[in-house]
A and B are shown apart, each in its own frame.
Chain A
């Protein structure tokens, strides 16, 4: 083997090795977090954990049923508000957003995307909590929806843009009005991607704590009233993890495991939907 070939081989080997190490490092954080959570949290996952509300501080036992149901309600409402607005805006951007207004909407969405989530929480507090004089689940949902909208708008736009132009032309040549082309042909073709984007967006906000601190506030009791303060898993973890009691720390670990599992399930569903999108862009 000549000298040059030898060096070329060596460089190739070293670089490949480097890349393998780096990719491992990237996944390593996730593995570390997950094993830590399982080790410290799994033992606390019993029937009571899922079915009981918290007991007074200092006592043992109790669960986080209120936070699990609360997360469902707050995030569900946020999706109910955020998905139509975000997907609608994305569709607009992709189909009609070539003008000045489109440019502005896109720019604002990007700025909003980079806004710290606690700032969004303060905004929701200013416009909802203060005028209504009470912390509420719905205020938290609005804050989460505001976080979700720019994400969904941009992913929807990307997905819709992937639909081949020829498909649009085919529909228009058939005598489809423009709005109908957008909805029945273009959006439907991109549906798999849009649904995936929505699920990823929901998974993202499900773990948010900061925007809920002064909106949903948290609640030690079980409630389903959306005009009342409500507990979520993220808020529960925040309170329990920073609290003084050993029992609270134990529950915080378990809650973190449950929240992580929830996000994981949503992400996996998104993956599955992507693979299942029969007929849309592949």
Chain B
């Protein structure tokens, strides 16, 4: 059911502008995220890439004073439309943050099951299967299968981040948003997350924000370059990195600024 729905799934922004008070953090961005691909959003600090990502699951509006203009279409339905519940929406779009955020009072198992329980899945069998599958997908199962009921805080930073990915994919969302998921990890942890991106795009549409250009080049199919809140250029990743059309893009990826 998920696979067939996902093949038709389209996520796109139409003239999206995100504001903090009067200040425009994202300006007039129209961007399509093709199904079952990894799209990387790159750009220097403060260019609005994280804000853009947070508009996609309506997390942006939780900041006091924040607002959004324009549209975000998920299967041609504007997620900012009046009859869309942000709570329901966020169950369809998983998110992983810069720093690992396991729930400290919960065990490894309960962390992964958290999103399922809130979705109304309650029976032991359902939960066990889903937790097992999510941990397998996050490549964490082998490391934690013998201590599922111990505290999630006993895991290493990299393991915690993979736990967060497992937690995000457990309710089988359609889209996975990654906000600089490797920013606080060592090279080995980073590599594992990047491998996961490759593996998971069969199942989910992935949008990853990163300021590490090598990472964007390694994991993504499409790359969007943002600067000062505007979308400068978007295209196939290998084209962006080998023959960018815009001068600013070239300057950024060759390291002349940012």
Contact = CB atoms under 8 A, between A and B. Distances in A.
Interface string B100-123: 010111100000001100110000
B63 to A, nearest CB: 10
Given A166-B99, A166-B101, A171-B103, 18 more contacts: A166-B97, A170-B101, A171-B114, A172-B62, A172-B90, A173-B57, A173-B94, A173-B97, A174-B118, A174-B171, A175-B88, A175-B171, A176-B118, A185-B105, A189-B105, A279-B104, A279-B151, A281-B104
Given A175-B91, A185-B103, A170 B164 contact: yes
Interface of A: 98, 164, 166-167, 169-177, 180, 185, 188-189, 191, 278-281
A189 B87 contact: no
Contacts of A176: 87, 114, 118
B64 interface: yes
Contacts of A98: 64
Interface of B: 57, 59, 62, 64, 87-88, 90-91, 94-95, 97, 99, 101, 103-106, 114-115, 118-119, 151, 153, 164, 167-168, 171
The secondary structure that dominates the B interface is: mixed
The secondary structure that dominates the A interface is: helix
9 closest cross-chain pairs (CB), A and B: A175-B91, A170-B101, A173-B95, A175-B90, A174-B115, A188-B105, A279-B105, A279-B104, A166-B101
Nearest to A278: B151
Contact of A174 (B62, B88, B168): B168
A279 B153 contact: yes
Contacts of B57: 173
Nearest to B119: A175
Nearest to A166: B101
Contact of A177 (B59, B87, B103, B168): B87
A185 B119 CA distance: 16
Contacts of A279: 104-106, 151, 153
Given A189-B103, A280-B105, A170 B97 contact: yes
A191 B90 CA distance: 27
Contacts of A188: 105
A190 to B, nearest CB: 9
A185 B103 CA distance: 7
A166 B95 CA distance: 12
Contacts of B99: 166
A63 B171 CA distance: 63
A175 B62 contact: no
Q: Which of A174, A176, A189 has the most CB of B within 10 A?
A: A174
Contacts of B153: 279
Contacts of B91: 174-175
A171 B115 CA distance: 8
B137 to A, nearest CB: 16
